[in-house]
Chain A
Amino acid sequence: MKSSGMLDSAEKERYKRQLMLIGDEAQSRLREATVFIAGAGGLGCPVALYLAAAGIGRIVIADMDRVEITNLNRQVLFDETSIGTEKSVAVKERLQRLNPHIRVEAITATIDDSSAGTLVGSADIIVDATDNFTTRYSLNRVACRNAVPLVHGAVCGFDGQVATIIPGKTACFKCMFPHPPPTGPAPVIGTTAGIIGMIQANEVIKYITARGSLITGQILLWDGLSATIEYVPAERDPACSECRQLR
């Protein structure tokens, strides 16, 4: 992530309240960064919204679905006029209206082992906003191969989990979750996806601006019913099929 180029006056005005916090140099880093967001659903919407507002220079978002009415309880970038539109395209249009200083690329495609590498491209960081473990294993494989961080998030009901993976340094997704739980449409309240998406977006901003500490080597567990957060440790598996050769 380079931080070349000065912020222009319009950018300085737009980001004024966060420049007070992070400064021009960090803001330039956000502008030079590429973030790949896998999934434009309950997690992908808040992640994309806040990363666009923060000034991530290039956001690539991939999803294979079109907007349906049942999405609107949690996928907050869409409204009734979006129904039937490709999700990634609807996200792109919304984000470009929010922040014309950034570039958003919409991809309508399935993310799997054969496509993930190409879709992720040269992104600086990957956000897992998907809804199944098969896709997550594909993203983890690319993260390990490219040595770029992967910010995992998942939700069900009032519960959610977040973990940031730095391949070669921390437990990878496969070390954390060697066996996939059953998949199927999970019940979810929009606020859970919002909170978990916010934590993921916050991880991305911290990583790019090199501030604070990341949720690595552990899994953050959010319990919305008691409004509590707990952490469970996640260590590297020396025999992990995905990351054992990485240092």
Chain B
Amino acid sequence: MIIQVKAFARFRELFGGEFLLTLPDGSTTGDAVEKIAARVPGGKEALYNEEGTIRPYIIILINKKRLSGDDRAARSLAGGDELALLPPVAGG
């Protein structure tokens, strides 16, 4: 299946603003994030903490609906889904 990925702020510069991702059927958000992390050098550090979990401050949305808890990595994906990754900014 193919999903659409949308990256915001710092992630847009790192991974590209919008791109398509091909995944095996039955993949989850965790699988997609892992594949995105492997696209560019520094991708893994940007998306995962030292324990190997997706950094908790990153906002993950599927079809504009925010994921929380276990869903952040375990949500099943379907072809045509839009996955958005947003790292909040903090400066002022």
Interface of A toward B, CB cutoff 8 Å: 39, 41-44, 128-133, 153-157, 159-161, 177-183, 185-186, 188, 193, 221, 223, 226, 230, 232-235, 237
Alpha-carbon distance between A230 and B9 when the two chains are bound, in angstroms:
11
Beyond A131-B90, A160-B89, list 9 extra A-B contacts (CB 8 Å). A42-B91, A130-B92, A132-B90, A153-B92, A157-B9, A159-B9, A180-B90, A221-B86, A223-B8
Instruction: Collect the chain A residues with CB atoms within 8 Å of residue B68's CB.
Output: 237
Q: Which residue of A lies closest to B12 (CB)?
A: A223
Contact of A177 among B12, B57, B64, B92 (CB under 8 A): B57
Check A159/B8 contact, CB under 8 A, given A39-B92, A177-B57, A232-B59: yes
| Contact between A154 and B90, CB atoms less than 8 A apart | yes
CB distance from B15 to the nearest CB of A (A): 14
Alpha-carbon distance between A182 and B64 when the two chains are bound, in angstroms:
24
| Contact between A156 and B57, CB atoms less than 8 A apart | no
| Contact between B89 and A233, CB atoms less than 8 A apart | no
Check A156/B66 contact, CB under 8 A, given A179-B56, A221-B9: no
In the complex, the 7 A-B pairs of residues with the closest C-beta atoms, listed nearest first? A186-B91, A156-B89, A131-B92, A179-B56, A179-B57, A159-B9, A181-B57
| Contact between B88 and A154, CB atoms less than 8 A apart | yes
Instruction: Collect the chain A residues with CB atoms within 8 Å of residue B10's CB.
Output: 156-157, 159
| Contact between B65 and A154, CB atoms less than 8 A apart | no
Q: Is B61 an interface residue (CB 8 A)?
A: yes
Alpha-carbon distance between A185 and B89 when the two chains are bound, in angstroms:
11
Instruction: Collect the chain B residues with CB atoms within 8 Å of residue A131's CB.
Output: 90-92
| Contact between A156 and B90, CB atoms less than 8 A apart | yes
| Contact between B88 and A177, CB atoms less than 8 A apart | yes
Q: Which residue of A lies closest to B65 (CB)?
A: A233
Q: Is B84 an interface residue (CB 8 A)?
A: yes
CB distance from A66 to the nearest CB of B (A): 17
Instruction: Collect the chain B residues with CB atoms within 8 Å of residue A153's CB.
Output: 92
CB distance from A213 to the nearest CB of B (A): 19
Alpha-carbon distance between A193 and B88 when the two chains are bound, in angstroms:
15
Check A155/B86 contact, CB under 8 A, given A179-B57, A233-B65: no
CB distance from A173 to the nearest CB of B (A): 11
| Contact between B88 and A155, CB atoms less than 8 A apart | no
Instruction: Collect the chain A residues with CB atoms within 8 Å of residue B8's CB.
Output: 159, 221, 223, 230, 232
Alpha-carbon distance between A237 and B84 when the two chains are bound, in angstroms:
20
| Sample of 20 A–B contacts (CB below 8 Å) | A39-B92, A41-B92, A155-B91, A155-B92, A156-B90, A156-B91, A157-B9, A159-B10, A161-B89, A177-B88, A179-B56, A179-B57, A181-B57, A181-B89, A221-B86, A232-B8, A232-B61, A232-B86, A233-B64, A237-B68
